[in-house]
Chains A and B, each alone.
Chain A
Amino acid sequence: MSYLSAEDVSVAFAGLKALSSVNLKITPGHISGLIGPNGAGKTTLVNVLTGFQAPTSGAVTLDGQPLTNLKPHQVRRRGIARTFQGGRLFRDLPVIDNLEVTGVGLGMSRRAAIAEAEAMLDWIGIAPLKNRIAGTLPYTDERRVAIGRALMGRPAYILLDEPAAGMSAPEASDLSDLVRRIAKSLGIGVLIIEHNVGLVLGLCDHIVVLDSGAVIEEGDPAAIRDSEKVRHAYMGTAADTVRANLEVMA
Protein backbone atom coordinates (compact mmCIF):
# COMPACT_ATOMS: atom_id res chain seq x y z
CA MET A 1 0.00 0.00 0.00
CA SER A 2 1.54 3.27 -1.01
CA TYR A 3 1.31 6.38 1.12
CA LEU A 4 2.71 9.85 1.70
CA SER A 5 3.38 10.70 5.27
CA ALA A 6 4.68 13.35 7.61
CA GLU A 7 6.33 11.74 10.62
CA ASP A 8 6.81 13.73 13.81
CA VAL A 9 7.31 16.88 11.79
CA SER A 10 8.22 20.01 13.70
CA VAL A 11 8.99 23.42 12.27
CA ALA A 12 10.22 26.42 14.23
CA PHE A 13 10.52 29.92 12.79
CA ALA A 14 12.85 31.97 14.97
CA GLY A 15 11.32 30.71 18.17
CA LEU A 16 7.76 30.39 16.87
CA LYS A 17 6.69 26.75 16.81
CA ALA A 18 4.67 26.54 13.61
CA LEU A 19 4.39 22.73 13.80
CA SER A 20 4.97 20.39 16.74
CA SER A 21 5.42 16.67 16.10
CA VAL A 22 2.74 16.45 13.46
CA ASN A 23 1.87 13.07 11.95
CA LEU A 24 -0.22 12.78 8.83
CA LYS A 25 -0.72 10.09 6.23
CA ILE A 26 -2.42 10.26 2.86
CA THR A 27 -3.17 7.36 0.57
CA PRO A 28 -4.15 7.12 -3.09
CA GLY A 29 -7.84 7.44 -3.86
CA HIS A 30 -8.67 8.93 -0.48
CA ILE A 31 -9.55 12.49 0.45
CA SER A 32 -8.05 13.83 3.65
CA GLY A 33 -9.00 17.18 5.11
CA LEU A 34 -6.74 19.50 7.05
CA ILE A 35 -8.56 22.14 9.05
CA GLY A 36 -7.70 24.56 11.80
CA PRO A 37 -7.88 28.25 12.61
CA ASN A 38 -5.74 30.90 10.88
CA GLY A 39 -2.06 30.48 11.66
CA ALA A 40 -2.54 26.87 12.79
CA GLY A 41 0.28 25.70 10.52
CA LYS A 42 -1.68 24.15 7.66
CA THR A 43 0.21 25.82 4.84
CA THR A 44 3.49 25.19 6.63
CA LEU A 45 2.68 21.46 6.68
CA VAL A 46 1.99 21.48 2.93
CA ASN A 47 5.26 23.36 2.42
CA VAL A 48 7.09 20.65 4.35
CA LEU A 49 5.38 17.87 2.37
CA THR A 50 6.37 19.49 -0.96
CA GLY A 51 9.97 20.40 -0.22
CA PHE A 52 9.43 24.16 0.17
CA GLN A 53 10.16 24.09 3.89
CA ALA A 54 12.72 21.89 5.59
CA PRO A 55 11.38 20.50 8.86
CA THR A 56 13.32 21.38 12.00
CA SER A 57 12.89 17.75 12.98
CA GLY A 58 10.93 14.77 11.70
CA ALA A 59 10.64 13.42 8.19
CA VAL A 60 8.48 13.19 5.11
CA THR A 61 8.34 9.82 3.43
CA LEU A 62 6.83 8.46 0.23
CA ASP A 63 6.15 4.73 0.43
CA GLY A 64 8.68 4.61 3.24
CA GLN A 65 11.42 6.43 1.31
CA PRO A 66 12.55 9.73 2.84
CA LEU A 67 11.79 12.84 0.79
CA THR A 68 13.01 15.38 3.29
CA ASN A 69 16.13 16.47 1.42
CA LEU A 70 14.53 16.86 -1.98
CA LYS A 71 13.97 20.23 -3.64
CA PRO A 72 10.43 21.26 -4.62
CA HIS A 73 10.85 20.35 -8.30
CA GLN A 74 12.18 16.93 -7.35
CA VAL A 75 9.24 16.32 -5.04
CA ARG A 76 6.89 17.28 -7.87
CA ARG A 77 8.61 14.84 -10.19
CA ARG A 78 8.05 12.09 -7.63
CA GLY A 79 4.34 12.64 -8.13
CA ILE A 80 3.42 15.02 -5.31
CA ALA A 81 1.66 18.11 -6.62
CA ARG A 82 0.21 21.12 -4.85
CA THR A 83 -1.70 24.31 -5.34
CA PHE A 84 -1.16 27.61 -3.55
CA GLN A 85 -3.38 29.69 -1.37
CA GLY A 86 -3.04 32.65 -3.76
CA GLY A 87 -3.42 30.73 -7.03
CA ARG A 88 0.00 31.70 -8.36
CA LEU A 89 -0.76 31.09 -11.99
CA PHE A 90 1.68 32.20 -14.66
CA ARG A 91 -0.39 35.32 -15.09
CA ASP A 92 0.91 36.50 -18.46
CA LEU A 93 0.52 33.12 -20.14
CA PRO A 94 -2.67 31.67 -21.63
CA VAL A 95 -4.40 28.96 -19.61
CA ILE A 96 -3.23 26.18 -21.93
CA ASP A 97 0.40 27.32 -21.52
CA ASN A 98 0.05 27.28 -17.75
CA LEU A 99 -0.59 23.55 -17.99
CA GLU A 100 1.90 23.03 -20.79
CA VAL A 101 4.74 24.61 -18.79
CA THR A 102 4.11 22.07 -16.05
CA GLY A 103 4.17 19.22 -18.54
CA VAL A 104 7.49 20.55 -19.81
CA GLY A 105 8.75 20.86 -16.22
CA LEU A 106 7.94 17.18 -15.80
CA GLY A 107 10.01 16.28 -18.85
CA MET A 108 7.30 15.91 -21.49
CA SER A 109 7.85 17.10 -25.04
CA ARG A 110 5.91 20.24 -25.89
CA ARG A 111 3.57 18.26 -28.13
CA ALA A 112 2.82 15.68 -25.44
CA ALA A 113 2.38 18.44 -22.86
CA ILE A 114 -0.15 20.25 -25.04
CA ALA A 115 -2.09 17.07 -25.76
CA GLU A 116 -2.34 16.30 -22.07
CA ALA A 117 -3.13 19.91 -21.19
CA GLU A 118 -6.03 19.93 -23.63
CA ALA A 119 -7.34 16.63 -22.33
CA MET A 120 -7.04 17.95 -18.79
CA LEU A 121 -8.99 21.14 -19.52
CA ASP A 122 -11.74 19.01 -21.09
CA TRP A 123 -11.78 16.70 -18.12
CA ILE A 124 -12.10 19.54 -15.65
CA GLY A 125 -14.71 21.20 -17.83
CA ILE A 126 -12.87 24.41 -18.57
CA ALA A 127 -11.89 23.78 -22.20
CA PRO A 128 -13.41 27.12 -23.32
CA LEU A 129 -10.89 28.97 -21.14
CA LYS A 130 -7.99 27.48 -23.08
CA ASN A 131 -6.74 30.68 -24.70
CA ARG A 132 -7.61 33.16 -21.97
CA ILE A 133 -4.69 34.96 -20.33
CA ALA A 134 -4.49 33.46 -16.85
CA GLY A 135 -4.17 36.81 -15.09
CA THR A 136 -7.56 37.93 -16.38
CA LEU A 137 -9.58 35.01 -15.02
CA PRO A 138 -12.13 35.32 -12.23
CA TYR A 139 -11.30 33.70 -8.93
CA THR A 140 -13.22 30.48 -9.42
CA ASP A 141 -11.71 29.75 -12.81
CA GLU A 142 -8.25 30.62 -11.54
CA ARG A 143 -8.61 27.91 -8.88
CA ARG A 144 -9.69 25.32 -11.40
CA VAL A 145 -6.80 26.15 -13.70
CA ALA A 146 -4.43 25.83 -10.74
CA ILE A 147 -5.86 22.38 -10.05
CA GLY A 148 -5.53 21.44 -13.73
CA ARG A 149 -1.92 22.53 -13.66
CA ALA A 150 -1.25 20.41 -10.58
CA LEU A 151 -2.89 17.38 -12.22
CA MET A 152 -0.51 17.43 -15.21
CA GLY A 153 1.48 14.23 -15.45
CA ARG A 154 -1.11 12.55 -13.19
CA PRO A 155 0.57 12.88 -9.79
CA ALA A 156 -0.03 10.25 -7.16
CA TYR A 157 -0.93 12.92 -4.58
CA ILE A 158 -2.31 16.42 -4.76
CA LEU A 159 -2.33 18.92 -1.91
CA LEU A 160 -4.90 21.71 -2.26
CA ASP A 161 -4.42 24.84 -0.16
CA GLU A 162 -7.84 26.49 0.34
CA PRO A 163 -9.16 25.83 -3.17
CA ALA A 164 -12.70 27.01 -2.30
CA ALA A 165 -11.82 30.23 -0.49
CA GLY A 166 -14.11 33.03 -1.60
CA MET A 167 -16.41 30.76 -3.61
CA SER A 168 -20.19 30.90 -3.46
CA ALA A 169 -22.09 27.82 -2.23
CA PRO A 170 -22.83 26.45 -5.73
CA GLU A 171 -19.24 27.07 -6.84
CA ALA A 172 -17.93 25.31 -3.73
CA SER A 173 -20.21 22.41 -4.44
CA ASP A 174 -18.87 22.13 -8.02
CA LEU A 175 -15.39 22.18 -6.58
CA SER A 176 -16.29 19.34 -4.20
CA ASP A 177 -17.47 17.30 -7.16
CA LEU A 178 -14.20 17.94 -8.96
CA VAL A 179 -12.13 16.91 -5.93
CA ARG A 180 -14.20 13.75 -5.56
CA ARG A 181 -13.57 12.86 -9.21
CA ILE A 182 -9.84 13.46 -8.75
CA ALA A 183 -9.75 10.96 -5.91
CA LYS A 184 -12.30 8.44 -7.10
CA SER A 185 -11.82 8.31 -10.83
CA LEU A 186 -8.12 9.18 -11.11
CA GLY A 187 -7.15 7.36 -7.93
CA ILE A 188 -5.13 10.32 -6.66
CA GLY A 189 -4.60 10.86 -2.94
CA VAL A 190 -5.95 14.29 -1.97
CA LEU A 191 -5.18 16.52 0.97
CA ILE A 192 -7.47 19.52 1.12
CA ILE A 193 -7.03 22.52 3.39
CA GLU A 194 -10.28 24.39 3.77
CA HIS A 195 -11.88 26.85 6.15
CA ASN A 196 -15.35 25.88 4.99
CA VAL A 197 -15.81 23.08 7.50
CA GLY A 198 -19.13 22.08 6.00
CA LEU A 199 -17.44 21.36 2.70
CA VAL A 200 -14.68 19.36 4.41
CA LEU A 201 -17.13 17.29 6.46
CA GLY A 202 -19.13 16.47 3.35
CA LEU A 203 -16.13 15.60 1.20
CA CYS A 204 -13.39 13.95 3.21
CA ASP A 205 -12.80 10.37 4.23
CA HIS A 206 -10.53 11.47 7.05
CA ILE A 207 -9.93 14.81 8.76
CA VAL A 208 -7.01 16.17 10.75
CA VAL A 209 -7.45 19.24 12.93
CA LEU A 210 -4.46 21.45 13.62
CA ASP A 211 -4.34 24.13 16.25
CA SER A 212 -1.23 26.15 17.10
CA GLY A 213 0.94 23.70 15.22
CA ALA A 214 -0.32 20.53 16.93
CA VAL A 215 -2.82 17.90 15.85
CA ILE A 216 -5.66 18.22 18.34
CA GLU A 217 -8.06 15.75 16.78
CA GLU A 218 -8.42 13.43 13.85
CA GLY A 219 -10.96 10.98 12.56
CA ASP A 220 -13.84 10.56 10.15
CA PRO A 221 -16.31 13.41 9.58
CA ALA A 222 -18.75 12.16 12.19
CA ALA A 223 -16.08 12.07 14.87
CA ILE A 224 -14.86 15.57 13.99
CA ARG A 225 -18.39 16.97 13.98
CA ASP A 226 -18.97 15.70 17.47
CA SER A 227 -15.61 16.70 18.88
CA GLU A 228 -15.68 19.16 21.76
CA LYS A 229 -11.98 19.93 21.21
CA VAL A 230 -12.62 21.01 17.65
CA ARG A 231 -15.48 23.30 18.65
CA HIS A 232 -13.26 24.72 21.32
CA ALA A 233 -10.31 25.34 19.01
CA TYR A 234 -12.47 27.34 16.68
CA MET A 235 -13.98 29.48 19.47
CA GLY A 236 -12.64 32.96 19.52
CA THR A 237 -11.41 32.78 15.94
CA ALA A 238 -14.03 32.42 13.30
CA ALA A 239 -16.30 30.91 15.91
CA ASP A 240 -19.63 31.95 14.51
CA THR A 241 -19.14 30.82 10.97
CA VAL A 242 -17.61 27.57 12.07
CA ARG A 243 -20.37 26.81 14.51
CA ALA A 244 -22.89 27.62 11.81
CA ASN A 245 -21.11 25.20 9.52
CA LEU A 246 -21.00 22.49 12.13
CA GLU A 247 -24.67 22.92 12.87
CA VAL A 248 -25.65 22.75 9.22
CA MET A 249 -23.95 19.39 9.02
CA ALA A 250 -25.41 18.06 12.28
Chain B
Amino acid sequence: MSTSSPVIDPILSAEAIAARKPGPFSLAGKSIVTPILLTLILLAIAIVTVMIGSKPFNQVIIDLFVRVILVVGLYVFIGNSGVMSFGQIGFTCLGAYVAAWLTINPMMKKMSLPGLPDFILKAKMEYWQAALLAALFAGVAALFFGRVLMRLSGIAASIATFAMLAMINTIYSNWDRVTGATSSVVGIPIVRSIWPYFTVAAIVIFIAWLHAISRAGLALRAARDEPTAAAASGIDIPKERLVAFVISGAIMGVGGALTAHSIGVVTPDNFYLSLTFVTLSMLVVGGMGSLTGSVLGVVILSALIQGLRFLEAGVPVGGSMLALPKGLQEIALGIIMIVILALRPSGLFGNRELTLNRNRSE
Protein backbone atom coordinates (compact mmCIF):
# COMPACT_ATOMS: atom_id res chain seq x y z
CA MET B 1 0.00 0.00 0.00
CA SER B 2 1.64 3.26 -0.97
CA THR B 3 0.39 6.78 -0.95
CA SER B 4 0.45 8.86 -4.07
CA SER B 5 2.38 11.58 -2.26
CA PRO B 6 5.90 10.94 -1.07
CA VAL B 7 6.45 10.36 2.62
CA ILE B 8 8.28 13.33 3.96
CA ASP B 9 8.46 12.37 7.60
CA PRO B 10 11.76 10.50 8.00
CA ILE B 11 10.81 8.19 10.85
CA LEU B 12 8.03 6.59 8.83
CA SER B 13 10.04 6.18 5.65
CA ALA B 14 10.33 2.66 4.34
CA GLU B 15 14.10 2.67 4.89
CA ALA B 16 13.79 3.84 8.49
CA ILE B 17 11.25 1.13 9.24
CA ALA B 18 13.26 -1.57 7.50
CA ALA B 19 16.35 -0.52 9.46
CA ARG B 20 14.55 -0.95 12.78
CA LYS B 21 15.14 -4.00 14.88
CA PRO B 22 11.57 -4.79 15.84
CA GLY B 23 10.84 -6.34 19.21
CA PRO B 24 9.96 -10.03 19.18
CA PHE B 25 6.34 -10.82 18.47
CA SER B 26 4.34 -10.90 21.58
CA LEU B 27 2.60 -14.12 20.48
CA ALA B 28 -0.50 -12.49 21.91
CA GLY B 29 -0.09 -14.28 25.21
CA LYS B 30 0.66 -17.59 23.53
CA SER B 31 4.01 -18.96 24.57
CA ILE B 32 5.65 -22.15 23.30
CA VAL B 33 5.75 -23.24 26.92
CA THR B 34 2.03 -24.00 26.67
CA PRO B 35 2.17 -26.84 24.10
CA ILE B 36 5.31 -28.20 25.75
CA LEU B 37 3.66 -28.37 29.18
CA LEU B 38 0.49 -29.87 27.75
CA THR B 39 2.49 -32.52 25.93
CA LEU B 40 4.43 -33.31 29.09
CA ILE B 41 1.18 -33.79 31.00
CA LEU B 42 -0.05 -36.25 28.37
CA LEU B 43 3.35 -37.95 28.35
CA ALA B 44 3.15 -38.43 32.11
CA ILE B 45 -0.31 -39.96 31.73
CA ALA B 46 1.01 -42.29 29.00
CA ILE B 47 4.00 -43.41 31.07
CA VAL B 48 1.87 -44.11 34.14
CA THR B 49 -0.52 -46.10 31.96
CA VAL B 50 2.27 -48.24 30.54
CA MET B 51 3.62 -48.81 34.05
CA ILE B 52 0.22 -49.86 35.39
CA GLY B 53 -0.07 -52.29 32.48
CA SER B 54 -3.83 -52.83 32.81
CA LYS B 55 -5.58 -53.52 29.51
CA PRO B 56 -8.87 -51.78 30.33
CA PHE B 57 -7.04 -48.75 31.69
CA ASN B 58 -4.88 -48.67 28.58
CA GLN B 59 -8.08 -48.47 26.53
CA VAL B 60 -9.44 -45.66 28.72
CA ILE B 61 -6.30 -43.61 28.11
CA ILE B 62 -6.37 -44.32 24.37
CA ASP B 63 -9.93 -42.93 24.38
CA LEU B 64 -8.68 -39.93 26.29
CA PHE B 65 -5.95 -39.19 23.73
CA VAL B 66 -8.43 -39.53 20.89
CA ARG B 67 -10.73 -37.06 22.65
CA VAL B 68 -7.82 -34.67 23.10
CA ILE B 69 -7.26 -34.78 19.34
CA LEU B 70 -10.93 -34.13 18.63
CA VAL B 71 -11.34 -31.33 21.15
CA VAL B 72 -8.15 -29.58 20.02
CA GLY B 73 -9.59 -29.85 16.50
CA LEU B 74 -12.73 -28.10 17.71
CA TYR B 75 -10.63 -25.43 19.44
CA VAL B 76 -8.77 -24.55 16.24
CA PHE B 77 -11.98 -23.46 14.59
CA ILE B 78 -14.46 -22.65 17.35
CA GLY B 79 -11.99 -21.22 19.84
CA ASN B 80 -10.22 -18.91 17.43
CA SER B 81 -13.19 -17.85 15.32
CA GLY B 82 -15.83 -17.68 18.04
CA VAL B 83 -18.26 -19.32 15.59
CA MET B 84 -19.99 -22.31 17.18
CA SER B 85 -19.85 -25.32 14.88
CA PHE B 86 -21.94 -28.39 15.56
CA GLY B 87 -20.60 -30.05 12.44
CA GLN B 88 -16.95 -30.88 13.06
CA ILE B 89 -17.72 -34.46 14.15
CA GLY B 90 -18.93 -34.94 10.56
CA PHE B 91 -15.26 -34.73 9.52
CA THR B 92 -14.43 -37.32 12.16
CA CYS B 93 -16.95 -39.60 10.50
CA LEU B 94 -15.33 -39.04 7.11
CA GLY B 95 -11.88 -39.78 8.55
CA ALA B 96 -13.02 -42.94 10.32
CA TYR B 97 -14.49 -44.38 7.13
CA VAL B 98 -11.38 -43.51 5.13
CA ALA B 99 -9.39 -45.53 7.67
CA ALA B 100 -11.87 -48.40 7.37
CA TRP B 101 -11.79 -48.32 3.56
CA LEU B 102 -8.01 -48.35 3.38
CA THR B 103 -7.03 -50.77 6.13
CA ILE B 104 -9.61 -53.56 6.18
CA ASN B 105 -8.43 -56.76 4.58
CA PRO B 106 -9.39 -56.67 0.83
CA MET B 107 -11.11 -60.06 1.05
CA MET B 108 -13.45 -58.80 3.75
CA LYS B 109 -14.01 -55.50 2.02
CA LYS B 110 -15.22 -57.21 -1.18
CA MET B 111 -17.98 -58.78 0.84
CA SER B 112 -18.98 -56.03 3.22
CA LEU B 113 -18.38 -52.92 1.08
CA PRO B 114 -18.66 -54.12 -2.53
CA GLY B 115 -19.52 -50.68 -3.89
CA LEU B 116 -16.07 -49.23 -3.21
CA PRO B 117 -14.05 -48.34 -6.31
CA ASP B 118 -11.54 -50.96 -7.34
CA PHE B 119 -8.37 -49.20 -6.23
CA ILE B 120 -9.79 -48.81 -2.73
CA LEU B 121 -11.03 -52.39 -2.64
CA LYS B 122 -7.51 -53.57 -3.40
CA ALA B 123 -5.82 -51.22 -0.94
CA LYS B 124 -4.31 -52.54 2.26
CA MET B 125 -2.45 -49.78 3.99
CA GLU B 126 -0.75 -49.32 7.30
CA TYR B 127 -2.92 -47.52 9.85
CA TRP B 128 -0.70 -44.43 9.85
CA GLN B 129 -0.80 -44.10 6.07
CA ALA B 130 -4.58 -44.36 6.21
CA ALA B 131 -4.71 -41.80 9.02
CA LEU B 132 -2.75 -39.29 6.93
CA LEU B 133 -5.10 -39.80 4.00
CA ALA B 134 -8.06 -39.49 6.38
CA ALA B 135 -6.76 -36.08 7.47
CA LEU B 136 -6.32 -35.08 3.84
CA PHE B 137 -9.78 -36.27 2.83
CA ALA B 138 -11.48 -34.55 5.78
CA GLY B 139 -9.48 -31.37 5.12
CA VAL B 140 -10.58 -31.30 1.49
CA ALA B 141 -14.18 -31.91 2.56
CA ALA B 142 -13.87 -29.02 5.03
CA LEU B 143 -12.59 -26.81 2.23
CA PHE B 144 -15.57 -27.80 0.09
CA PHE B 145 -18.20 -27.20 2.80
CA GLY B 146 -16.36 -24.25 4.29
CA ARG B 147 -16.40 -22.23 1.09
CA VAL B 148 -20.15 -21.97 1.48
CA LEU B 149 -20.45 -22.02 5.26
CA MET B 150 -17.87 -19.34 6.01
CA ARG B 151 -19.97 -16.68 4.31
CA LEU B 152 -22.54 -17.10 7.05
CA SER B 153 -22.17 -15.84 10.57
CA GLY B 154 -23.82 -16.10 13.96
CA ILE B 155 -26.74 -18.47 14.43
CA ALA B 156 -27.10 -19.07 10.69
CA ALA B 157 -23.55 -20.40 10.52
CA SER B 158 -24.07 -22.68 13.52
CA ILE B 159 -27.30 -24.12 12.15
CA ALA B 160 -25.67 -24.68 8.77
CA THR B 161 -22.80 -26.60 10.37
CA PHE B 162 -25.38 -28.76 12.11
CA ALA B 163 -27.10 -29.35 8.78
CA MET B 164 -23.74 -30.47 7.38
CA LEU B 165 -23.35 -33.00 10.20
CA ALA B 166 -26.86 -34.33 9.61
CA MET B 167 -26.19 -34.56 5.89
CA ILE B 168 -22.97 -36.53 6.32
CA ASN B 169 -24.69 -38.82 8.81
CA THR B 170 -27.61 -39.42 6.46
CA ILE B 171 -25.39 -40.20 3.49
CA TYR B 172 -23.20 -42.58 5.46
CA SER B 173 -26.25 -44.22 7.05
CA ASN B 174 -27.78 -45.03 3.67
CA TRP B 175 -24.97 -45.63 1.20
CA ASP B 176 -25.13 -49.35 1.75
CA ARG B 177 -22.50 -50.58 -0.72
CA VAL B 178 -19.83 -48.07 0.29
CA THR B 179 -20.36 -47.48 3.99
CA GLY B 180 -22.37 -50.50 5.00
CA ALA B 181 -25.20 -48.13 5.93
CA THR B 182 -26.11 -48.31 9.60
CA SER B 183 -24.57 -51.71 10.20
CA SER B 184 -21.14 -51.91 11.79
CA VAL B 185 -18.13 -52.03 9.51
CA VAL B 186 -15.85 -54.56 11.16
CA GLY B 187 -12.33 -55.80 10.58
CA ILE B 188 -10.45 -52.56 11.05
CA PRO B 189 -7.02 -53.44 12.45
CA ILE B 190 -6.93 -52.49 16.12
CA VAL B 191 -3.91 -50.53 17.34
CA ARG B 192 -3.45 -51.23 21.03
CA SER B 193 -0.22 -49.39 21.73
CA ILE B 194 -0.76 -46.09 23.44
CA TRP B 195 2.16 -44.34 21.70
CA PRO B 196 0.64 -43.63 18.28
CA TYR B 197 -2.31 -41.92 19.99
CA PHE B 198 -0.03 -39.93 22.26
CA THR B 199 2.17 -38.90 19.33
CA VAL B 200 -0.72 -37.67 17.22
CA ALA B 201 -2.24 -35.81 20.19
CA ALA B 202 1.11 -34.06 20.77
CA ILE B 203 1.50 -33.17 17.07
CA VAL B 204 -2.04 -31.83 16.96
CA ILE B 205 -1.41 -29.67 20.03
CA PHE B 206 1.63 -28.14 18.34
CA ILE B 207 -0.28 -27.59 15.10
CA ALA B 208 -3.02 -25.80 17.01
CA TRP B 209 -0.42 -23.67 18.77
CA LEU B 210 1.35 -22.82 15.50
CA HIS B 211 -1.93 -21.80 13.95
CA ALA B 212 -2.82 -19.70 16.99
CA ILE B 213 0.41 -17.69 16.81
CA SER B 214 0.42 -17.44 13.01
CA ARG B 215 -0.79 -14.41 11.10
CA ALA B 216 -3.98 -16.34 10.33
CA GLY B 217 -4.65 -17.13 13.99
CA LEU B 218 -3.95 -13.59 15.11
CA ALA B 219 -6.23 -12.13 12.44
CA LEU B 220 -8.98 -14.62 13.24
CA ARG B 221 -9.00 -13.87 16.96
CA ALA B 222 -9.04 -10.15 16.24
CA ALA B 223 -12.06 -10.76 14.03
CA ARG B 224 -13.70 -12.83 16.77
CA ASP B 225 -13.36 -10.01 19.29
CA GLU B 226 -14.10 -7.01 17.10
CA PRO B 227 -15.29 -8.05 13.64
CA THR B 228 -16.07 -4.57 12.36
CA ALA B 229 -12.64 -3.22 13.25
CA ALA B 230 -11.01 -6.35 11.86
CA ALA B 231 -12.67 -5.84 8.49
CA ALA B 232 -11.60 -2.19 8.59
CA SER B 233 -8.07 -3.45 9.25
CA GLY B 234 -7.96 -5.32 5.96
CA ILE B 235 -8.75 -8.75 7.42
CA ASP B 236 -10.70 -11.04 5.11
CA ILE B 237 -12.80 -12.69 7.79
CA PRO B 238 -14.39 -15.49 5.72
CA LYS B 239 -10.95 -16.45 4.41
CA GLU B 240 -9.35 -16.60 7.84
CA ARG B 241 -12.30 -18.63 9.10
CA LEU B 242 -11.91 -21.03 6.19
CA VAL B 243 -8.23 -21.59 6.96
CA ALA B 244 -9.08 -22.57 10.53
CA PHE B 245 -12.04 -24.67 9.38
CA VAL B 246 -9.84 -26.70 7.04
CA ILE B 247 -7.10 -27.26 9.65
CA SER B 248 -9.79 -28.22 12.14
CA GLY B 249 -11.42 -30.57 9.60
CA ALA B 250 -8.12 -32.35 8.97
CA ILE B 251 -7.51 -32.78 12.71
CA MET B 252 -11.05 -34.11 13.20
CA GLY B 253 -10.40 -36.52 10.30
CA VAL B 254 -7.21 -37.93 11.77
CA GLY B 255 -9.05 -38.23 15.09
CA GLY B 256 -11.73 -40.24 13.30
CA ALA B 257 -9.15 -42.60 11.79
CA LEU B 258 -7.63 -43.19 15.22
CA THR B 259 -11.08 -43.75 16.73
CA ALA B 260 -11.63 -46.46 14.13
CA HIS B 261 -8.30 -48.12 14.97
CA SER B 262 -8.91 -47.88 18.70
CA ILE B 263 -12.14 -49.91 18.58
CA GLY B 264 -11.95 -51.79 15.30
CA VAL B 265 -15.52 -51.08 14.18
CA VAL B 266 -17.35 -48.01 12.89
CA THR B 267 -20.97 -47.06 12.37
CA PRO B 268 -22.21 -43.61 11.33
CA ASP B 269 -23.90 -43.14 14.69
CA ASN B 270 -20.56 -43.40 16.50
CA PHE B 271 -19.92 -39.98 14.98
CA TYR B 272 -23.10 -38.12 15.54
CA LEU B 273 -24.97 -36.28 18.26
CA SER B 274 -23.58 -37.98 21.30
CA LEU B 275 -19.92 -37.53 20.32
CA THR B 276 -20.68 -33.96 19.24
CA PHE B 277 -22.21 -33.25 22.62
CA VAL B 278 -19.40 -34.84 24.63
CA THR B 279 -16.58 -33.12 22.74
CA LEU B 280 -18.28 -29.71 22.70
CA SER B 281 -18.89 -30.04 26.45
CA MET B 282 -15.23 -30.72 27.03
CA LEU B 283 -14.28 -27.69 24.94
CA VAL B 284 -16.73 -25.39 26.67
CA VAL B 285 -15.95 -26.61 30.18
CA GLY B 286 -12.21 -26.23 29.60
CA GLY B 287 -12.60 -22.79 28.03
CA MET B 288 -13.23 -22.29 24.31
CA GLY B 289 -10.61 -19.63 23.82
CA SER B 290 -7.76 -21.63 25.32
CA LEU B 291 -5.65 -24.48 24.00
CA THR B 292 -4.89 -25.40 27.59
CA GLY B 293 -8.60 -25.43 28.34
CA SER B 294 -9.36 -27.75 25.46
CA VAL B 295 -6.71 -30.29 26.48
CA LEU B 296 -7.29 -30.15 30.22
CA GLY B 297 -11.08 -30.00 29.73
CA VAL B 298 -10.80 -33.45 28.18
CA VAL B 299 -8.58 -34.75 30.95
CA ILE B 300 -10.81 -33.40 33.73
CA LEU B 301 -14.14 -34.46 32.23
CA SER B 302 -12.78 -37.87 31.21
CA ALA B 303 -11.61 -38.44 34.78
CA LEU B 304 -15.06 -37.50 36.05
CA ILE B 305 -16.76 -39.81 33.57
CA GLN B 306 -14.47 -42.68 34.57
CA GLY B 307 -15.07 -42.02 38.24
CA LEU B 308 -18.82 -42.08 37.75
CA ARG B 309 -18.64 -45.25 35.65
CA PHE B 310 -16.67 -46.86 38.39
CA LEU B 311 -19.30 -45.93 40.95
CA GLU B 312 -22.06 -47.12 38.64
CA ALA B 313 -20.37 -50.51 38.36
CA GLY B 314 -20.35 -50.73 42.13
CA VAL B 315 -17.80 -50.40 44.92
CA PRO B 316 -17.48 -52.98 47.65
CA VAL B 317 -18.37 -51.39 51.00
CA GLY B 318 -18.07 -53.73 53.95
CA GLY B 319 -19.49 -56.99 52.66
CA SER B 320 -21.94 -55.56 50.14
CA MET B 321 -21.67 -53.71 46.79
CA LEU B 322 -22.69 -50.09 46.72
CA ALA B 323 -23.61 -48.97 43.21
CA LEU B 324 -25.07 -45.82 41.75
CA PRO B 325 -28.28 -46.43 39.79
CA LYS B 326 -27.73 -46.81 36.06
CA GLY B 327 -27.99 -43.58 34.11
CA LEU B 328 -26.92 -41.50 37.07
CA GLN B 329 -23.56 -41.06 35.38
CA GLU B 330 -25.05 -38.90 32.62
CA ILE B 331 -27.16 -36.96 35.08
CA ALA B 332 -24.27 -36.33 37.44
CA LEU B 333 -22.05 -35.27 34.57
CA GLY B 334 -24.71 -32.85 33.35
CA ILE B 335 -25.01 -31.34 36.83
CA ILE B 336 -21.24 -30.99 37.20
CA MET B 337 -20.99 -29.26 33.83
CA ILE B 338 -23.78 -26.85 34.67
CA VAL B 339 -22.16 -26.01 37.99
CA ILE B 340 -18.74 -25.41 36.39
CA LEU B 341 -20.26 -23.16 33.74
CA ALA B 342 -22.40 -21.31 36.28
CA LEU B 343 -19.30 -20.54 38.31
CA ARG B 344 -17.01 -19.89 35.35
CA PRO B 345 -19.05 -18.99 32.28
CA SER B 346 -16.00 -18.85 30.04
CA GLY B 347 -14.83 -22.28 31.17
CA LEU B 348 -12.15 -23.39 33.59
CA PHE B 349 -9.40 -21.57 31.70
CA GLY B 350 -11.30 -18.83 29.86
CA ASN B 351 -8.79 -17.29 27.48
CA ARG B 352 -5.81 -18.11 29.66
CA GLU B 353 -3.04 -20.55 28.84
CA LEU B 354 -0.82 -22.68 31.01
CA THR B 355 2.67 -21.14 31.21
CA LEU B 356 5.47 -20.87 33.70
CA ASN B 357 4.83 -17.15 33.96
CA ARG B 358 1.72 -16.87 36.09
CA ASN B 359 0.04 -13.78 34.72
CA ARG B 360 -0.08 -14.44 31.03
CA SER B 361 -3.41 -13.94 29.41
CA GLU B 362 -4.54 -12.99 25.98
Binding site for B on A (CB under 8 A): 2, 28-29, 50, 52, 71-73, 76-77, 79, 81-82, 84, 88-94, 96-97, 100-102, 104-107, 109-112, 114-116, 118-120, 122-123, 131, 149-150, 152-156, 181, 185-188
Contact = CB atoms under 8 A, between A and B. Distances in A.
Given A97-B26, A106-B1, A81 B232 contact: yes
A84 B228 contact: yes
Interface in B1-55: 1-9, 11-12, 16-18, 20, 22-23, 25-26, 28
Contact of A115 (B22, B28, B225): B22
Contacts of A116: 17
Contacts of A107: 234
Interface residues of B, number: 38
Q: Which of B16, B219, B229, B237 has most chain A Cβ within 10 Å?
A: B229
B30 to A, nearest CB: 11
Nearest to A1: B4
A187 B16 CA distance: 18
Contacts of A97: 26, 28, 218
A96 B26 contact: yes
Interface string B200-242: 0000000000000001001100100110111111111100000
A119 B230 CA distance: 21
Contacts of B12: 119-120, 123, 154, 186
A28 B362 CA distance: 38
Given A90-B226, A156-B4, A122 B11 contact: yes
A187 B26 CA distance: 31
Contacts of A181: 9
B351 interface: yes
Contacts of A94: 26
Contacts of A82: 232
Given A76-B232, A93-B222, A105-B222, 15 more contacts: A2-B4, A28-B3, A72-B231, A92-B225, A104-B235, A105-B230, A106-B234, A107-B234, A118-B20, A118-B23, A122-B11, A149-B229, A150-B232, A153-B1, A188-B3
A88 B3 CA distance: 25
Given A119-B20, A186-B7, A187-B7, A105 B26 contact: no
